[in-house]
Structure 1
Amino acid sequence: MLLYDPMEPEPWGGRFRIVCFAQAPLETDIGLDPFLADVAWSWLVDALDARGANYVAASGTATKILSTGFGELARQGDGAQIELRASWTPLDAGIAAHVEGWSELLCMLAGLPPRSEGVTALPRRRSDRG
């Protein structure tokens, strides 16, 4: 979400504010990792920095959720999730680098491998079935 306030609220440090939320399922043992929240936040900061997004006043929370189903949900067993709520103030007129950084974070949360400079992903092959 992109917010705008011409009064430039002091906590924002600018007229615009980007606000985002992401949630991803995890394996239960990963959900127990005491460094999970720190890692999730560093993924966001690293992704923004890697895309050259200039920003100030970054803030947010990383929440680890561990759950156990009961009754009709008992068959689901134990589960874990990570939630990341984040906001920051872009310093550039364009927000493309910010959207790209956020997209990179979503790919990491989804378990997709990061793209490296000089590595090209192979396109999917479609076969005609008659």
Structure 2
Amino acid sequence: MPANVTSFTPEPFARALRELEAMPWRSGLTTQEIGSPQRIAPHAVAISAELESGEDSLATGRLILLHDPAGNTAWDGTFRVVSYVRAEVDLDMVTDPLLPEVAWSWLTDTLATHDCSAAELAGTVTASYSKGFGEMTDADRADVEVRCSWTPTLDEAHPLTPHLAAWQDLMGLVAGQPQLPPGMATLPTGRGV
């Protein structure tokens, strides 16, 4: 799945690509490589992901890993993770003024839970609601979207895998489907799940 590794690929980025390819994604989460930005960093890989339950799509996301061996002063490092996660939520949840802070804490908590070394954390949380009219009266929809980026420490002692695990956990939390310990199940949410 990851971008082609050539003799010109720096070993730290090649190692990250191998870790991305070997990532054991949670059940229901499918990923695929997509085009990555070419002008932001000399080396980049991007994936899209969809978290599903049966035939229902619960969340979508993208993750981009950027690498500049010379470093980037804006990142304060040589790597940068850029992420986007979006999921439909209950209509009354989107009006809760605490939703942005809670959604941001999902990100920071998952990074902490997986012991990720993440600096220069930045991002936005958007809660949106759309109301249908006329022939679309049944089209009411509420979404939460978390866009974020951080500078990971990636080397032989600090792999990419914990950052990937944190990101997949963020997708589950945004979708209302947190990763549970083996043998545990979620209660129905009323969203057709």
Normalised TM-score (structure 1): 0.84
- 2:105 is matched with 42
Equivalent pairs, count: 118
Q: CA deviation at 1:114?
A: 4.2
* Paired residue secondary structure (2:147): strand
* 1:108 maps to amino acid: L
Aligned sequence identity (%)? 37
Among 70, 94, 114, which residue is 1:31 paired with? 94
- 1:6 is matched with 69
Question: Which segments of 5 or more consecutive residues in structure 1 lack a partner in the other structure?
Answer: 123-130
- 2:164 is matched with 99
- 1:18 matched to 2:81? The reply is yes
Higher relative contact order (CA 8 A, sep 6+): 1
- Please identify which structure carries the higher strand content: 2
- Please identify which structure carries the higher helix content: 1
**Computing the radius of gyration over CA atoms, which structure comes out larger, 1 or 2?**
1
Question: Which segments of 5 or more consecutive residues in structure 2 lack a partner in the other structure?
Answer: 1-63, 185-193
* 2:183 maps to amino acid: A
* Paired residue secondary structure (2:71): coil
| Aligned CA-pair RMSD | 1.5
* Paired residue secondary structure (1:84): strand
Normalised TM-score (structure 2): 0.58
Alpha-carbon distance in 1 for matches of 2:79, 2:146: 20
Alpha-carbon distance in 1 for matches of 2:126, 2:175: 16
